[in-house]
Amino acid sequence: MGKARFILPNIFTSLNFLLGAFSICWTTGAFSTSDPILMGAYFVILCVLLDKLDGFAARLVNASSEFGAQFDSLADLIAFGLAPAFCIVFAYKNLAPSFFEANTALMAVAFSVYVLCAAMRLAKYNACDSDCYHHHFSGVPTTFVGAINVILLVFLKNREGFFADTSCATIYIPVVVLFITGLLMVSPLFLPKLQPRKNKAFNIFQAVLILITYVSGFMFFTEKAIILEYLLLLVGCYMSIGLIVGLVQRSKIIEEAKASKK
């Protein structure tokens, strides 16, 4: 196959890169003004669903490369770093303009922290973590926090009067979550990866869950409450339970990483 085998994984990475860029364009109203926040969020969700396919394709055709790793990180920065942050900032700008004008500094700080942490998380992964932690993420991955932010945003947007009532403290939720998830990306916490385990029943459960998640993700644009609630529950449980497991097993994870370097 020669160099041609590198085309397939780079096609998936290119799609992620372009969908992330399209998300920003739709969110800002550059291409369309028809529900730009939903479409911007949907493009991010599509990036989440496609994210693992480039790595899978690279392993399938034995086409892993340093170029592919760097290209993938650039695509992730656009899709899960910049795009979700733009979605949230423009949601406030379009749906709660008075709140946005009164809290521009807060928006700028949250935006800056999130995108900088995403960039540092991806750089750290390529430089330090990719060969150390085989079963856990060091810091919450950009894919996951990008999904959390856009799912939560669309869920709250669909709640009647959420962005209209600027006097209620709950209006701060999306921007606060953006700030916190930014810090979680560069935190010293560990999150278990979704991988095959020794328990066959668990593997079947995990496979079914992933299948349902993919179907729900592709149907995200319908904004059906049951889909949004399922995705929120899924990411909430995975992160809360996973981080607790990571804390309990922290010493063991670090020891295994040190042993793998020897």
pTM of the model: 0.90
pLDDT-based confidence at residue 71 (cuts at 50, 70, 90): confident
Q: Please tell me the least confidently modeled range out of 34-43, 61-70, 215-224.
A: 61-70
Structural domain including 109 reads 2-261
Q: What is the pLDDT of residue 262?
A: 61
DSSP the chain: -GGGGGHHHHHHHHHHHHHHHHHHHHHTTSS--SSHHHHHHHHHHHHHHHHHHHHHHHHHTT---HHHHHHHHHHHIIIIIIHHHHHHHHHHHHH-HHHHHHTHHHHHHHHHHHHHHHHHHHHHIIIIITTT-SSEEES--HHHHHHHHHHHHHHHHTSTTTTT-TTSGGGGHHHHHHHHHHHHHTSS-EEE-----S-HHHHHHHHHHHHHHHHHHHTGGG--HHHHHHHHHHHHHHHHHHHHHHHHTHHHHHHHHHHHH-
pLDDT digits (tens, 9 = 90+) for 78-117: 999 999 999 999 999 999 999 999 999 999 999 999 999 9
Given a cut of 80, whether residue 259 has pLDDT beyond it is no
Number of domains into which the chain is organized: 1
pLDDT digits (tens, 9 = 90+) for 139-164: 899 999 999 999 999 999 998 889 98
